[in-house]
Structures are given as structure tokens and as C-alpha cells.
Structure 1
Amino acid sequence: MMIKRTVLGLVLLLSISMTSKSQVKIGFEVSFKEPQAHYAEVEMNVSGIAAKNYIDLKMPTWTPGSYLIREFSKSVESFGAKAGGKDLKFEKISKNTWRVHNVKANAVKVNYRVYAFEISVRTPFIDKAHAFLSPTGIFMYPDGMIKTPSTVKIIPFSTWSKVSTGLEPVKGEKFTYTASDFDILFDSPIEVGNQDVFEFDAAGVKHEVAMYGGGNYDKERLKVDMAKIVEEGTKIYGENPNKHYTFIVHNYERGGGGLEHLNSTTLGASRNGYGTERGYKSFLSLVAHEYYHLWNVKRLRPKALGPFDYENENYTTNLWVAEGFTSYYGNKLMIRAGHVDLNGFINPLLGSVGTVLNMPGSKIQSVASSSFDAWIIGYRPNENSNNNSISYYTKGEAVGMLMDLEIINATKGAKSLDDVMKAMYDLYYKNLKRGYTDAEFKAMVEKVSGISFAGFWDKYINGTDDIDYAKYLAMAGFNVVNENANRDVPFLGVTTTRKDNKVVIATVLRNSGAWIDGINVNDELVSIDGAPAELAVERMAQITGKKVGDVVKVVVVRDGLKKELDVKLTANKAVRLSYSEVQNPTPMQLTVRKKWTGL
């Protein structure tokens, strides 16, 4: 009887707790009284809360997919709270937490304003033409209630008529949407204005494209070409997990970048870039990258990336898979969709390999460490970053290519990296419903390939070995050469920029003559061997008339003082890779090539 009573008591307690949570209602209303001044007015209503002395409301400090603490609370002002029409006392108890006191009423209304004037795919931006609501920079959440549903009502400015978002609409209520929890809300950007909207169907899913800013795009062409990318991505995983998907595209004079979301993405583009083949393919490549994220990262993810802690850094050593592999698959989707040929597929990959090899930081930082340090280095590089760090995007893309070729070669064309990603998706996202560890990813690679990847991990993931591009491309019957090999080209080892009509040193390359003999970043370059700065910069690539080992006199101004430095020229060791097909490829090389390229 005691056991039965205890169980019954637990059931009753659980039932009461669930009822209490289900009665909590959270609703937002966003309006725009002064969009020209870049403000959103936010009203937050919380009802059904148990009577208590206070409630803490928090603003996220970062946005998933962009690994930097951005302190969104800095843009919040005019915070106030009421219950039953009466003002409630509140205080700010941390950088992103407002504590509202005397919450003894059933419902609390909170009002605040958000200043939004940073153009990017990860931050809110508002002006008289439109509003882009990046949710982590707009919406607060009650502490401990991340899993609580909410509704969002948008009241467009008087001259605006459209809202585009991946959120689910509430039937019968105009511009009103619902989110099952704050993870969904924070993962659903909202575009408000007069954007040009068109649709296409692909993989059984309706896709909406919301174009802001105009541009020379061809809607009918985009519908066809974007659909091909969707179909090719869906083939890898055997399913498209969306009911609907929204592309929010911001077209500026010069735009770029993208941020992935669960059933949407925000893209930056150049409004007149669609008119050239290069610009058009660049946009499609961005589409391919961000769309592939709906499987890789938004569902199949490193263990640290969900459930999210929105107040602190979420560390992982696997962004080389999350982002680097997505860059690699952007290329694969492009060739499979027929948007690029063999050159268009291989040359960007060799470009990434070259970038890694040409960065001294690739000998200092591993790609696993680069992933972990994204929070302190990746999004805020300085003048020395090329010397002491490496991008998990670029090296991750190169690693993806090597791993893909290794798997294809080991299985004689039966398997590829596709099989690894699909197996990981099925096991960790669909079955175990959790993220993976680095060890688990490595184990799956070894299971699919049938060989050990211990050495690969030691060299390319946790180590800093140079990428053996010749070995891996040879597996597919390609010769790769460094066009700069055996060229003894002297160089100084700096890059310059213009500042206040002066030529200023921007970077100094590790172990170059400039590095060894003391040229500093921010030095004003006056002359090299008597040639004035402007002329010297034109000749800097090869230091006309000099050879490796020669000493040149460099005059700089540092902190207002003129300095003369003797700099010994070193050899420019930058690689430039090109490929050609092996003249008589073996049947195995042809098998690997076909599996790898799909051609």
C-alpha cells in the first residue's frame, strides 16, 4: 500500500506540475513607431504564472550558428512592467537579466524598445524600408521557461504589407505566429516590409523566397536552380524534414554571408550580382551551403550545440564538421545540381587547400582547436590571426575532401562521406535524439570506411600537418602541382592598406624578412630602397631587381618617429595549386573519380 500511495502521489504531483506549466501563456507583440530611428517596440505578456515574489526576464547573449557573445541586451531600453494596470518595481540584476518584483498577479505585461542598426544576417536591423527581426536580439524569455510555447504578433509599419518567417501562422489571426518553445522562436528570423515574395516546390516542400532590396535577379531561373539544390541535398539523407522553408534574402550594394535556421535561412547578396555568371553562381553556392545546414547542424549536430545555453559560450571541437563539411557539401551540391563543371568543383577546393597551406597559423592551431576557440578568435580576428590560427570553415572544407576521397578509395567506390553523414543523421538525430561527440563521429567514419582513421585524426584534426593534396587527388586520377614550386621569388612579407592618405602596414607574415627584422603592423611605410611608398607597394610582390637574401632599406614612421630598418628578403613560399587529369588513369582511379564528382 505504501508503494501504491507513493506512486499515486508522484503521479498527482507530476499532473499538477504539468497543468501549471501548460497554463503559462507567453505572447509578444512587435510594432514600429519609429522605424526611421531603427526601433522596435516589444510588448511581452506572461500569464498563468504561479504567485511569486519576482520573475526574471532574460535576453540571449548570442545567436546559434554565430559563435560570438554579442550582448544583445545592450540595445534594450525603456524597460517597464505592469500588472493590473499598475507599475511593478524592477531592477537589472545582470547584464542581460531584468527582475520584476511583486509578481502576485496572474498576468504581467512588459514593454521595452530595441535599437536595431547593424546590418548582418545575425543581428536585427530596422529602417523606414523594412525590419529584419533576428529573434535572439528581439525577444526575452522568462528564466526557466525555455520550453514554454509563445505567440508573436507583428504589427507592420503603416507603409509595410508583408511578413515572411518560418514560424507557424495562427489560423484566423493576421501576422500572428506560434512557436512550440523558445528554441524554435530564437531559430526563426522574421522579415517585415514590402519584400518581393515568390515560391517554388521541391522535394515535396513549399519554399518561399523573400527578396528585400531589389536586384537584377530572374525569379523563374532562381526557382528552377534553387529547386535542384534542394533535391540534391534531400537525396543524401533520403528525406526533407520540413513542412515549409523560407529564404530571407537581403540584397545590398555589396552583401554576403548567411545564417542557417531550422526551416529557414537569412542570406546576404549583392543586388546587381545576379547578372553575371560568376555572381549568380556565387549566390547559388551560398544557397547550397545554408540549405545543407538544415541537416548538418540544425539536426545532426555536435553534442554541445543543443539544448542551447543562451547566456554563455557553448564549446565544441567539431565546428570543422558543422561548418567546414557544409562548405564542402556546398560544392558537391553545386556539381550534382549541374550548376558547375569539373573545374568549378575542383578549383574552389584546391583554393581552400592553398589558403590553409599559405596561412602560417595552420602550423600553430589545429582545426579542432580552431572550433573550440571560435568564441574568442573566429569572429574577431586581429592583425596576427593569419599567423596563429586557422579557419575551421576553410580547413574543415579541405578535410572533408580528404576524408571523402579516403572513404571512396578504401571501399572501392562503394561508400563515400555521404554514407557517413546519412548514418550519423539516422543514429544521432532520428534514433538517439542527441548530438554526437568527436569520438562518435570518428567511429562512424571508421565503420563506414572499414579502415582506421587514427592517423588521419592525428594529422589533420588534432594535428597541424600540411595537407597531402597530391596523394588524395591522385586517388581520383588527378595530378596536382604547385605552380610556384622551385620559384625563388623574393618578398618582404607584408600587406598594406591606406589610412589617412598614407600607406600603412596591415599584416606581417610569420618568419618573413619583415617579421624577423622588425617591421610592425601600423607602421607608416615611407620607402623601400629609396622608392617612395606608392611605387614600392606596386613592386612589393617581387621587389623588382632583387633576389632572395638581398637586404633592402625600409623607412617607416612609427609613433611619429622615422625609423630605418635593414630587411633581408626571404623567399615567397605561397603555393598556387592547379590540377590535370592523369593521362592513363587506372580503373580504380576512374571509379573513385566517378563516385567523388558524380560525373
Structure 2
Amino acid sequence: MRLFFAFLLCSVACFSQTTTYNISFENAVHHEANIKASFPNLGSEVLTLRVSRTSPGRYALHEFIKNVYGVKATNSKGEELKMNRPDPYSWKISGHDGTVNIEYTLFANRGDGTYTQIDLTHAHLNIPATFIYSEKLKQRPVEVNFNTTGHPDWKIATQLKHISGNKYFAPNLYYFMDSPTEISNFDLRQYQVDGQNIRFVLHHPGTDQEFDQYWEQVKKIVTQEKAVYGELPKYDFGEYTFLACYMPNVSGDGMEHRNSTILTDVESLGEGGMKGNIGTVSHEFFHSWNVERIRPKSLEPFNFEKANMSGALWFAEGFTSYYTGLILCRAGITTPEEYVNSLNGTFNYVWNSPALEYFNPIEMSYQAPFVDAATSVDPVNRQNTFVSYYSYGSILGLALDLQLREKELNLDDFMKLVWETYGEPEIPYTIDDLKEILGKYAGKEFASQFFSNYIYDSKMPNYENLFNTVGLEISQQTDQAYFGASVRDSEKGLVISKGPMKGTPAYIAGLDEGDKIVAINSTEISTKEAWEGEISNFEPGDTFEVTVSSYGTERTAEVKLQPNPTYIIKIDENASALTKAARKKWLSEK
């Protein structure tokens, strides 16, 4: 959230109009919380109360109201008030005496960056999924009491300002909504960086030794990401908190917030999480600069009633994704070989997708309300129409970095310039602003060509030349035959597991998801192993007949195999000393 904090040093007592909440967890075993709220000094106007439909960091709609029930409203004397429902998400309350008190029950059992989970292990609270609010009162300060009676070992971790005991403070509604809270018997590590406190809260079943090892990696990430921008952001209240919950009852996720981040995964540190979860730490902490303070104008102000759309997610999310793996390499958490190998999956996903025919990175970003943890029951054709703006932006960030390095510039210094121009002063940017500042950094012609070819269009940079400049090589497996659809063994036999991508041999032959493969050239095929054995006998350009069963009918299609389009990126062992030095400069710690 983009907020102004000139008044943060004011004590809570100086606010005469404060929204207050109390949440307790007497029925945690059944995933329920009891929540009370008080809205004083209202005058005589009708008060509209709502449950949010969105959450900071998410772009799709999430109907949190579905888990709110038993709602009651009273005035300052405890007299019940009438509540009207103008729509599924809100209540209108009239006839009050200037105060409206609300009490309700919340059911919550999904622990991630979007939802709330309450059980005997913790209260994992995403604020928009938890608390009823009034948009009219959004400038009022908020005070919340987390009542942990009955859970004596539970502690509270949040970016909210601590008042006393279990009471916390937010300067306004936006900051409150942007402040996830983990309440559990967590472990804590912390240290000072340039006078600010960096905390890592960890709710997990592991050991102190495992946490210490993980914490050392986290500190290296903080150091390397700070090096990109030259400084940490000025965190409100002087503190940044990682809220990590690596428990078997949560769902994997990462979600950035202004002065904190949620990190959830089912893998504990001792069961794969030491390596598997650290990438999310790298990604989310980078967001404390890029997206939280270097913020798209299209996301300002964040709307809690409608889906939030931005055409800049290729930069906000995608460039952050580029740095995710790069930072791990610079921090020594992964090797250069591991980093380069990790590029392959994302590179192939982006540049072998037919979706680039339909949308450029800006338009891919516009799809976020439909794909960002959004749910639907109708099938979609995303394998042919969508490339994640995370991946697309990441691979374009890689290209821009290598192009800049050809000019003896680099993406780090460009990001630092964007930070100094838009992030540090918290001036929301537009896509045109990004083009303009790239022009100032690398030249107008360079910026114009980059944006014209790769942002406003979907062209592919010349990666072969770019990789050569840092001692990498790229090739394709064109000597191998390519069918273009995945298959799997199932109860009904061997089936095509998902819709083929447009332009592949399987797609051209009219094959589709769910088709049962019966035979190749009259040879019966019933297992994935047998299928792979038969396909290995063919070469690119060969044709065969495949018999499939679909909709209760058998049919035969002719398939003409293509060269395998898969790219392979690896370190060039025969690279020159000059390009090896360039690679080292790119991937080494700062």
C-alpha cells in the first residue's frame, strides 16, 4: 500500500475516532473465530459495513463473505439494530445512536497469503479475509486486540504497531488490511541492518539448528537485495518481518506486504523446505522495493471491492521473478551451474508458447484477475492463450540485463534509478514512465527499441548472442521427434493428459485432452512406457496413424512429427576468458 506516515508518531490516545476490533479463538478446534468491532462517533448517517472481495498483493476476486455468519449489530446501549443487505457483500445499518457494535463468527481453514486459517496450531490471519470494515471510515486509525486466552503459548507477529499486551495499531484502514498476522508458538530470529530490525518469524515443527541454518541464508538474501538498490526501504516503525509458516496444514504461497511478507509451505526445513522454500523468501523480500514502493499507478489506490488490474505486472512481478534466482546465486545459496540450469524451464515455457500470438506482456498482465489464485468451473484454453507475467517478465528481465551489460551498464543500476525516482519518494509510475527512465539510463533509441519489440509487441530477443556475451550457450534438440502432447496412464487406459498447444503435431492432428490412445499404426498401445518406446523409433518429419477413442467412438488421425523445439541453456565450457569474466561479474555477490 502507498501510504503517508507523517502522523505515525502521534500516540493512539490522540485519536478520538478509532475503529476497534477484538478477535478470540475459543472454538479454534473447529476453525472458528469470534470477532467484535466497534465503530463510534458516526453521527446519524446510515453506516455501510462490508467484507472485502480482494486482498493486497492479489488481483482476482475472493469472496471472503462466504465464511462470515452470525452477524449481529447493536448500539452503544447494547440494543439490537436492524441490518439491511443491499448486496451479498455488505450491510446497511440505520437507527443507531452514533455507535455501531458488530459481532460475528468467522470460519477459516486455509493458511496462505490470501486466506485465514484457525486451528489448534495457530491463528494465521489475512486481514481482508477476517475483518468487516467500513470504506467510509478508511482514514480512521484502527486498534485490534488479539485475544489468545486458552492458548497460553501463542505469540503475536505482525507489521502492526504494538501498543501493549495483545493490542496493536494501524494508522488507517489500508495499513490494517495490508498487515497479515501470525499467532502461534513460533520461533524468532532478528538482527539490525542500518538501524532497522529484520525479523524472521517461523512457525514450524523443526529444530533450532535447522532454523539457524535457514536464517543465515535469509541474511545473505537481505544483503544481496539491498546491494541492488543501495539501501533498504525505510520500513514503517523501523522493522520488517518475514511471517513464515512451514506446517503440514497450510497451503504453499508467498505474499508481499509493505513491511512484511507471508511465507507458507507444507515442507518443513528438514523435509525439503531448506532448499525448496528459500526462493520464495528471495522473491517476496525483493517486493519490499519493487511493487510495495516502486508501485504501479494502476494499483493505486487498491480497491477492496473490485478486481485490481495492472498492465505493469510483467515488471512488478516479472522482474522480481528474474531477481529471485539471481539473488540466490549471488548469495551463494545456489551455484552458477544450478542457476543457469534453472533458466531452462521458464525459458521454454515462455518462448514455446502460442499465447504470444495473442498477447504482449502488458496484455498478459491484464489477465491477472482471471489467473491470480482465481477459481472457475468452466474449462479454459490457457495453454494456448496465456503466459504468466511472472515468467514472461522474468525472461525479459534477463534479456534486458544482458543487453545492458553489452553497453557496460546493468539492470541493477537501472532498478536503483527507478527506486530513486519513483520508489523512495513513493510516486506511482506508469509504463510510459518506465520507458522514459530506461531512455535516460541507456539512451532513448535503446529504450524505444526494447519497448517496441518486447513490451508493446511479443518479439523474441536474440538470446543466442546475448548468452554468448556471458559465456552461456543455447541450443535446441532438433534431432529428436516431437509429438506435442503429454500422456498419462489412467484407469481407462493411456490418455492425453492436457490439451495440446496450438501448432504442435498433436494439435494439428485434431487430438485433444482426454482422448484415449488405442494404437499406433495398428500396434496396440496401452501404457505410457509402450507409447514412449514407439515414439522413440521415429524421427522429425515421420508420420504415423494414431487410433484414439473419444466420446465413445474410435477414430484415426495422421500425425506428422516435428523437430523438438525444447531449448537447452548451459554454461559454455569453451567460453573465452572475457565472457567468463562477464559471467562472473553478473552472477557474483555484490
Select between 521-530 and 382-391 the one with higher mean Cα deviation.
521-530
Q: Which amino acid in structure 2 is aligned with residue 260 of structure 1?
A: E
User: Which has the larger displacement, 305-314 or 544-553?
Assistant: 544-553
- In the alignment, what sits opposite 2:17? 24
> Which of 43, 48, 55 is residue 50 of structure 1 equivalent to?
43
8 Å CA contact retained: 1:512, 1:569: no
Aligned sequence identity (%): 24
Worse-superposed segment, 496-505 or 200-209? 496-505
| TM-score, normalised relative to structure 1 | 0.87
Output the amino acid matched with 2:388. Answer: S
Q: Is the 8 A contact 1:490 1:546 kept in 2?
A: no
Which of 572, 581, 587 is 1:597 aligned to? 587
1:85-100, aligned counterparts within 5 Å? 85-100=78-93
Tell me what 1:465 maps to.
Answer: 459
Contact 1:213 1:271 in 2 (8 A): no
C-alpha distance in structure 1 between counterparts of 2:576 and 2:391, whole Å: 29
More contact order relative to length (CA 8 Å, sep ≥ 6): 2
Q: Which range is displaced more, 443-452 or 84-93?
A: 443-452
Counterpart for residue 356 of structure 1: 350
1:585 is displaced (CA, Å) by: 3.3
Please give the alpha-carbon distance, in whole angstroms, between the structure 1 residues aligned to 2:57 and 2:534. 41
Judged with a 3 Å threshold, the aligned counterparts in structure 2 of structure 1 residues 351 and 568 are, in CA distance, closer, same or farther, namely closer
**CA shift at 1:530, angstroms?**
5.1
Distance 1:197 1:582, change over 3 A: closer
- What residue in structure 2 maps to residue 556 of structure 1? 549
Aligned letter for 1:385?
Answer: R
CA distance in 2, matches of 1:180, 1:324: 31
CA gap 1:106/1:198 in 2 versus in 1, 3 angstroms:
same
Q: Distance in 2 between matches of 1:363 and 1:541?
A: 33
Q: d(CA) in 1 for partners of 2:42 and 2:15?
A: 10
Q: Could you say if the C-alpha distance between residues 197 and 446 of structure 1 is closer, same or farther in structure 2, counting changes exceeding 3 Å?
A: same
Q: Secondary structure at the match of 2:465?
A: helix
Q: Which residue of 1 aligns with 2:241?
A: 246
| Residue 235 of structure 1, CA deviation | 2.3
| Alpha-carbon distance in structure 1 between the residues aligned to 2:468 and 2:220 | 30
How far apart in 2 are the matches of 1:128 and 1:532? 54
Q: Which runs of 5+ in 2 are unaligned?
A: 1-13
Label 1:160 to 1:522 Cα distance change in 2 as closer, same or farther (>3 A): farther
The 1-side partners of 2:517 and 2:112 are apart by 34
Report what 1:17 is aligned to: none
Q: Equivalent residue for 2:286? A: 292
1:449 is matched with which residue? Answer: 442
- Matched residue SS, 2:459: coil
Distance 2:241 2:289 in 1: 15
Aligned equivalent of 2:364:
370
Say which SS state the counterpart of residue 23 (structure 1) adopts: coil
Contact preservation (8 Å) 2:493, 2:527: no
Matched, 1:115 2:112: no
Q: In the superposition, relative to structure 1, how do residues 380 and 427 fare at CA in structure 2: closer, same or farther (>3 Å)?
A: same
Q: TM-score with structure 2 length normalisation? A: 0.89
Tell me by how many angstroms 1:72 deviates: 1.2
Aligned length: 564
- What are the ranges of 5 or more consecutive residues in structure 1 without an aligned counterpart? 1-20
Conserved 8 A contact 1:191-1:248: yes
Matches within 5 A, 1:248-397: 248-253=243-248, 256-272=252-268, 274=270, 279-380=273-374, 384-397=381-394
Aligned residue in 2 for 1:6: none
Does residue 440 in structure 1 map to residue 437 in structure 2? no
Once superposed, what is the RMSD of the aligned Cα atoms?
2.6
Contact 1:408/1:595, CA 8 A, preserved across alignment: no
* Deviation of the 1:502 alpha carbon: 4.9
Equivalent residue in structure 1 for 2:500, among 490, 499, 508: 508
CA distance change for structure 1 residues 513 and 591 in 2, over 3 Å: closer, same or farther? closer
Report how far residue 362 of structure 1 moved: 3.0
Shift of 1:445: 1.2
Contact 1:353 1:467 in 2 (8 A): no
- Cα distance per residue 1:408-427 (max 9 Å; x no partner): 222x2xx3212222222222
Asked whether the equivalents of residues 214 and 274 of structure 2 are also in contact (C-alpha less than 8 Å), the reply is no
Give the whole-Å Cα distance in 2 for the aligned partners of 1:356 and 1:162: 44
Q: 1:404 maps to which residue?
A: 401
Residue pair 2:494, 2:528 contacting (<8 A) in 1 also: no
Q: What code does the residue aligned with 2:385 have? A: N
1:389-425 CA-partner distances (Å, limit 9, x unpaired): 1111111111111111222222x2xx32122222222
Residue-by-residue CA offset, 1:364-407 (whole Å, 9 max, x unaligned): 32111110111124545855212111111111111111111222
Q: Is the 8 A contact 2:58 2:372 kept in 1?
A: no
1:569 matched residue in structure 2: 560
Counterpart-to-counterpart distance in 2, 1:28 and 1:379: 28
1:351 Cα offset (Å):
3.4
- Given that residues 259 and 265 in structure 1 are in contact (C-alpha distance below 8 angstroms), is that contact kept between their aligned partners in structure 2? yes
Cα distance in 2 between the residues matched to 1:452 and 1:117: 50
Aligned counterpart, 2:28: 35
Measured in 2, the distance between the counterparts of 1:85 and 1:371 equals 49
